Amino acid sequence: MKELSLNILDITYNSIKANAEKIEISISESISANLIQIEIKDNGHGMDHELLEKVTDPFVTTRTTRKVGLGIPLFKQSAEDTDGKFSISSKIGEGTAVYASFRLDHLDRAPIGDISSTMVSLIQANDQIHFIYRHSTDSGEFVLDTDDLHAQLGDVPLSEPAVLSWIGEYIKENLEDIQGGKI
């Protein structure tokens, strides 16, 4: 993937497919620590032990349109290519957490990219899901909690086009403020 934000989008679709009601996306980037960390945590249906052991292998998928699941192996490889770490934990009925870290100054590291578009796409995919997106940098932290948006909007859905574009701009401005997503 050209951007880590695209991996995040892809991995989070797995959470949506697993019928998660709550999904937490956390990104931390630190130039001083030379490290980017990404975690996607959901309360979806989870995976059993056997599937969990296999999902990092690019020949496993529960999809029927093709035999090879690509999302998790790609994310894992993009982390390991930068001397980073990857882990995934899951429990049936409880949920799944996917973690990846990246050495920030590694030549093979993809840029974080357009997180704002990723969040807008995810919210548009299912505006009933409770998303909590946290992004921290050396200069601060930004948190977007869709519950706070619902509190302002009442009955107006988050998937309303005017609301989605507002959310996109809101994220961009706040990331700008903490110098986030630029690397």
Partner 1 sequence: MKSLAELQAIKEKMQNKVNLRASEDDNTVRVVVGMATCGIAAGARPVLNAFLKEIEDRHLGNVICTQTGCIGICQYEPVVEVITPDGTKTTYVKMNEDKVAKVVTEHIVNNKVVQDFTIGAYQK
Ligand X SMILES: Nc1ncnc2c1ncn2[C@@H]1O[C@H](COP(=O)(O)OP(=O)(O)OP(=O)(O)O)[C@@H](O)[C@H]1O
Q: Which residues bind ligand X (CB under 6 A)?
A: 10, 14-15, 18, 42, 44-47, 55, 60-63, 69-72, 96
Options 4, 55, 120, 175; binder of partner 1; rule CB under 8 A: 120
Asked whether position 117 contacts partner 1 by CB under 8 A, the answer is yes
Asked whether position 157 contacts partner 1 by CB under 8 A, the answer is yes
Give whichever of 8 and 163 is closer to ligand X, judged by the CB atom.
Answer: 8
Interface map 62-91 toward Mg ion (x if CB under 5 A): ---------x--------------------
Asked whether position 106 contacts partner 1 by CB under 8 A, the answer is no
45-79 per-residue burial string, b: 16 or more CB within 10 A, e: under 16 = bbbeeeebeebbebebbeeeeeeebebbbbbbebb
Asked whether position 14 contacts Mg ion by CB under 5 A, the answer is yes
How many other CB atoms are there within 10 angstroms of residue 81's CB atom?
Answer: 15
Residue type, 98: V
Q: Kind of pairing, strands 95-103 and 130-137?
A: unpaired
What is the C-alpha separation between 121 and 26, in angstroms, rounded? Answer: 17
Asked whether position 67 contacts partner 1 by CB under 8 A, the answer is no
Beta bridge partners of 132: 24, 145
How many other CB atoms are there within 10 angstroms of residue 116's CB atom?
Answer: 20
Instruction: Give contact residues for partner 1 (rule: CB under 8 A).
Output: 1, 6, 9-10, 13, 17, 63, 65-66, 69-71, 74, 114, 117-118, 120-121, 124-125, 148-149, 152-157, 160-166, 169-170, 173-174, 177
